[in-house]
Amino acid sequence: MSLAEIVQETEDESRRSRPGIWRQLWHDRMGRAGIITAIVMLLVIGVGPVIFPFNAQAFGISAASILQGPSRAHWFGTTELGQDVFREFLIGGRISLYVGGSATIIAIVLGAGLGLISGYYGSWRDTVLMRFTDFFLVLPTLPLIIVLAALFGQSILVTSLVIGLTSWPQTARIIRSQVLSLRERPLVLRIRSMGARDVRIMGKHILPNVAPLIFANLVLVLSGSILAQAALAFLGLGDPVQVSWGTMLHNAFDSGAMSAGAWWYVLTPGAGIVALVLAFSLIGHALDRVLNPLRRGRP
Amino acid sequence: MSLLAIHELSVDYALGGGSLRAVDSVSLEVEQGESVGVVGESGCGKTTLGLAIPLLLPGNATIPQGSIQLNGEELVGLSEEAMRHHRWTDVAFIFQGAMNALNPVQRVDRQILEAIRAHEPTTTKDEADARVLRLLDLVGIAPSRVRSYPHEFSGGMRQRAMIAMSLACQPSLLIADEPTTALDVISQAQILALLASLQRRQSLSLLMISHDLAAIKRVCGRLVVMYAGIVVESGPTRLLLGHGMRDARAAHPYTQALIRSHPDLQGERQLAEGLTGHPPDLSRPLVGCRFADRCPKAEDRCRTIAPVPVTLAPGHLASCHLLEAT
Amino acid sequence: MSESAVLEIHDLVVHFETRRGFRQRTTVRAVDGVSFDISQGEILALVGESGCGKSTIAMSVMRLLAPTSGHILVEGRDLASLRGRELRRARQRIQMIFQDPFGSLDSRQTVYESVAEPLVVHGLGRQGEERRRRVLAALDLAHLRPPERLAANYPHELSGGQRQRVAIASAMVLEPALVIADEPVSMLDVSARAGILRLMMDLRDRTGVSYLFITHELAVAWMVADRLAVLYLGRVVEIGTSPEVVAHPAHPYTRALLEVTSGDGELGEGAVLAGETPSASRVPEGCRFHPRCPLYAERGQPEVCRTQDPTLCGVGRAAPGEREHLVACHFPDTDDRGAP
């Protein structure tokens, strides 16, 4: 038996007695930590602004309300404009997640789609698509967003687009390699020999078997996108109107918050970014461990 | 004293919430210079039994009872450190599909060299080199081919290399798990002939695990038949399988069914018989004879009481109620 | 060539060009000129070890790969000349069963869905009721009973033998003329094999379907096939009815296969054929078997074996009405000397 067959048989046998993917994720320490953190963060971001509806126009009235430390009135202090940091945090979270999410969708749809076609058809289609992918792989994020921002203005749309366009090659490669191996499985040969159309084979037999991998990749791309968005916003390339956590950090540094000792202004969005990115990262890696039989450590 | 004496050995696997007894109170002995074949179909526990001897069981396996004695020394309960001394030098194991376990980026002769150096570090380079050449020659690999990489070898040659590697430190016992699966028919015969000749020439003791009765017949003097974790019959191969399976004297219905499943090209051209159904689920409690569901001769008592081994002739035992008559 | 031939292969050649390194281009001669035919209701076995080309032949017949040259006629029609809808319609007539019962089923589909797949692909049995009837009938035909209960199972809930039956049911649901079975029992336990083989023969008796049965085990071929063809390195070296070939093997390779399969007791190392099958990229000159052939050595290395590629010739044993026994050897064994 070849190693691949041994792996397949181990996989098949364990599938018989294996609990669902979510249950397994829960058992994994990393996965559990990630899930809990993600749920907490999502609750905070999602429900927070509803529970704590702040007046959007509540700018500071006097100089005394600028860059104030945490107090009863302002749990996390105030910004350089006298806004409540907590409120900004709650709203900023939504923006960060929204951009991260949109970028991820672009990346996954493009990446999985191209990976699927490339891996399934092979030959010239594969070559062409892979060269196309290589082109995007080497595209540098920063210059791209600067150019696009100059052309179309700074907005969350542009940010999402840029992050999406520079993240999809990774996904494409991973999916392509999985599809390449699935394609040689007796199952696919059998369906092809039946005379099924390619679209049917890809949609009904290959895609569902690649879905778990796509999902694991999605989670990791999400975590990366959120971080990328924060970084771009921090550099001042994000949407100045729709304030995200990255923008908050940008504003904080811009207004000299650090030198003024206003640590609450930096720590709050910073901790938020770390928590969110870490959560999805943990889930993504735990998923990879759960789905990959070779890494599970059983003979 | 037997070279290998397994007494009432059981092996349990922990599986998400429950446990499964893959090997249940199995006893077997291998004498010095003897070759014993363990035959059974998938899931009967033969591989688990084989892995238990050099204590190479996976992490979720435990040995709740029984003993394994090698040259009189008890192996069950030994620490990993202590067991390592025995592996390769006293007992060597060839895994299923081992021919694919060779390191693809290292030359074959170097891999064997490494094995020797790892277990007998006091060997000088010259001595070790000479041994490698001798070993490969022993298994029929010409000196001109020893410096090749695994992918330059065919499946049969890789298996020979694995056999050579397992003999590197002159173990007294060689355990081979399905040594001929995945090989072509002719290569299979070549490997079996090699094992038989090695066994004779080096007075190597061999424990061969296989699902292929015909393969075991060519190499092993004694036969142990396993089903659903237990030994159902054991005895001399010649007696149990006869000549060309025709005058087989195997007594257990399962062994008989196995024999009938093998086509006899010298007999009448007909479809060999098979067995319907499948082995019992070992994670559930078992009552009575484990083969009762599929046994053509099953009686009522077979489903309620588990049979015990009965001696039918010197060295020939079988566990079946129908044999307990007198 | 019989008029009711379901499959006719004429001089099939499948060569693969591979590029090793920058300049070296080697040709892998996987199938090097094979011809045979299968009549309606006949089971023909292709027997050979790995690298002999048997699986490549199967893939060519299924048009999963394109042959280099030669003709493949299914029910008299050359598949190479068909396109689009006609090709898809022709595909209904040939179905395939694979070696790995688990790998060939979609683990995410129930048994019902797997067996219904061919119907869905070809848009047959449009009304749900009709389709359901056909699926259950196929399951029943494959001895999967009760069909309604088993239809709801997933592959991992079934035994190896049952999974293979599902694959068979899925192949039979379109009522094909020819089923290609590529090592259908090699991954099954010995005790489960007989059931599958019996099923296949039963299906042939009941529906008149023909089989191209591919296996590396001569004994299995002998049990189930009407005729068998022994392949070596891309060529048919012997072909005839099963009882005839096994009782009176004319080619030394066939004899070697028989000896290791049916011989028993201790095997002296000399009794087994020495060496390994050469790679299909380096096919020996003349008779491709001569480097390993015991006859070649025995007869003092005759030049004809080194220089001339033997063609299939009659061994002259066929009774009237029976298919001929052919062998490709310069010194075929036409007496009973070689029978084990």
**Which pLDDT score is estimated for A14?**
52
Averaged over C34-54, what is the pLDDT? 92
Q: State pLDDT tens for residues C91-106.
A: 889 999 999 888 889 8
Shortest CB distance from A195 goes to which of C91, C102, C157? C91
Structure tokens at B176: 């081979």
Interchain pair C108, A209: CB under 8 A? yes
Q: How far is A14 from chain B (nearest CA, A)?
A: 9
Shortest CB distance from A1 goes to which of B58, B60, B96? B96
CB contact C242 to A (< 8 Å): no
Q: Which domain holds residue A89?
A: 34-44+84-295
**Which pLDDT score is estimated for C221?**
93
Number of A to B CB contacts under 8 A, please give it. 23
pLDDT tops 50 at residue A299 = no
Q: State pLDDT tens for residues C293-307.
A: 998 888 888 999 999
Shortest CB distance from B185 goes to which of C216, C224, C264? C216
CB contact A20 to B (< 8 Å): no
Structure tokens at C291: 């480097």
Chain B residue at shortest CA distance from A3:
B100
Q: Name residue, tokens 């239809």.
A: C151
**Which pLDDT score is estimated for A15?**
53
Contact C152, C113 (CB under 8 A): no
CATH value at residue A286: 1.10.3720.10
Question: Does the residue A29 lie in any domain?
Answer: no
Query: Contacts of residue B214 in chain C, CB cutoff 8 Å?
Result: 261, 264
Q: Which residues pair with C210 in a beta bridge?
A: C178
**Which pLDDT score is estimated for A65?**
64
User: Which band of pLDDT confidence, cut at 50, 70 and 90, is reported for residue A53?
Assistant: low
Query: Rounded CA gap, B99 and A62, in Å?
Result: 80
Chain A residue at shortest CA distance from C97:
A190
Q: State pLDDT tens for residues C116-136.
A: 999 988 888 777 888 999 999
CB contact C118 to A (< 8 Å): yes
* Bond prior to B58 in cis (omega within 30° of 0): no
Classify residue B209 by burial, with Cβ atoms within 10 Å: 0-12, 13-18, 19+: buried
Query: Rounded CA gap, B268 and A166, in Å?
Result: 70
Q: Between B184 and A71, whose confidence is greater?
A: B184
Structure tokens at C261: 């399969």
Contact B112, B134 (CB under 8 A): no
Q: Which long-range contacts (CB under 8 A, 24 or more apart) does A70-73 make?
A: A70/A264
Q: State pLDDT tens for residues A86-140.
A: 888 888 888 888 899 999 999 999 999 999 999 999 888 999 999 999 998 888 8
Averaged over B205-220, what is the pLDDT? 90
User: Which band of pLDDT confidence, cut at 50, 70 and 90, is reported for residue A287?
Assistant: confident
Say which residues have a Cβ less than 8 Å from residue C99's Cβ, sequence separation at least 6.
A186, C182, C183, C184, C186, C187
Q: Between A58 and B227, whose confidence is greater?
A: B227
Q: Between B59 and B231, whose confidence is greater?
A: B231
Amino acid A129 reads L
pLDDT tops 60 at residue C2 = no
pLDDT tops 80 at residue B147 = yes
Query: 3-class SS at B258?
Result: helix
Averaged over A214-221, what is the pLDDT? 90
CB contact C198 to B (< 8 Å): yes
Q: State pLDDT tens for residues B268-282.
A: 788 877 788 778 888
Query: Rounded CA gap, C114 and C116, in Å?
Result: 5
Optimal mutation site among C190, C193, C267, C277, interface B, most CBs of chain B within 10 A: C190
Query: Rounded CA gap, A222 and A97, in Å?
Result: 9
Interchain pair A17, B15: CB under 8 A? yes
CB contact C91 to A (< 8 Å): yes
Contact B68, B6 (CB under 8 A): yes
CB contact A17 to B (< 8 Å): yes
Q: How far is A1 from chain B (nearest CA, A)?
A: 5
**Which pLDDT score is estimated for C207?**
93
User: Which band of pLDDT confidence, cut at 50, 70 and 90, is reported for residue C338?
Assistant: very low
**Which pLDDT score is estimated for C268?**
55
What's phi and psi for A248, nearest 5 deg?
-60, -45
Structure tokens at C249: 């093997």
Q: Among the residues of A153-262, which ranges form H helices?
A: 156-183, 186-194, 198-200, 207-234, 245-254
Query: Contacts of residue C222 in chain B, CB cutoff 8 Å?
Result: 263, 265, 269
Interchain pair C49, B185: CB under 8 A? yes
In eight-state DSSP terms, residue B58 is -
**Which pLDDT score is estimated for C340?**
46
Could you report how far apart the first and last alpha carbons of chain C are, in Å?
A: 31
The total number of structural domains in chain A stands at 1
Question: Does the residue A17 lie in any domain?
Answer: no
**Which pLDDT score is estimated for B5?**
94
Fold classified for C94-175: Rossmann fold (3.40.50)
Query: Rounded CA gap, A202 and A199, in Å?
Result: 5
Classify residue C18 by burial, with Cβ atoms within 10 Å: 0-12, 13-18, 19+: exposed
**Which pLDDT score is estimated for B66?**
93
Averaged over B185-213, what is the pLDDT? 88
Query: Rounded CA gap, C115 and C15, in Å?
Result: 34
Q: Between B55 and C190, whose confidence is greater?
A: B55
Q: Does domain B4-90+172-188+202-278 have CATH number 3.40.50.300?
A: yes
Averaged over B7-20, what is the pLDDT? 87
**Which pLDDT score is estimated for A296?**
46
Question: Does the residue A77 lie in any domain?
Answer: no
When the pLDDT of each residue in chain A is averaged and rounded to a whole number, the result is 82
**Which pLDDT score is estimated for C116?**
92
Query: Rounded CA gap, B3 and B31, in Å?
Result: 5
Q: Which residues pair with B317 in a beta bridge?
A: B234, B311
Chains sharing 3 or more CB pairs under 8 A with chain B: A, C
Q: How far is A16 from chain C (nearest CA, A)?
A: 6
Domain extents for chain C? 94-175
Q: State pLDDT tens for residues A75-84.
A: 777 777 777 7
Domain extents for chain B? 4-90+172-188+202-278, 99-170
Chain A residue at shortest CA distance from C121:
A196
**Which pLDDT score is estimated for B244?**
64
When the pLDDT of each residue in chain B is averaged and rounded to a whole number, the result is 88
Interchain pair A187, C105: CB under 8 A? yes
Query: Contacts of residue C99 in chain A, CB cutoff 8 Å?
Result: 186
Interchain pair C198, B274: CB under 8 A? yes
Interchain pair A15, C104: CB under 8 A? no
Q: How far is C209 from chain A (nearest CA, A)?
A: 17
Averaged over A266-289, what is the pLDDT? 89
CB contact A193 to C (< 8 Å): yes
Chain A residue at shortest CA distance from C63:
A193
pLDDT tops 60 at residue A267 = yes
Interchain pair B271, C198: CB under 8 A? yes
Chain A residue at shortest CA distance from C157:
A16
Q: How many helices (H) and strands (E) does chain C have?
A: 12, 12
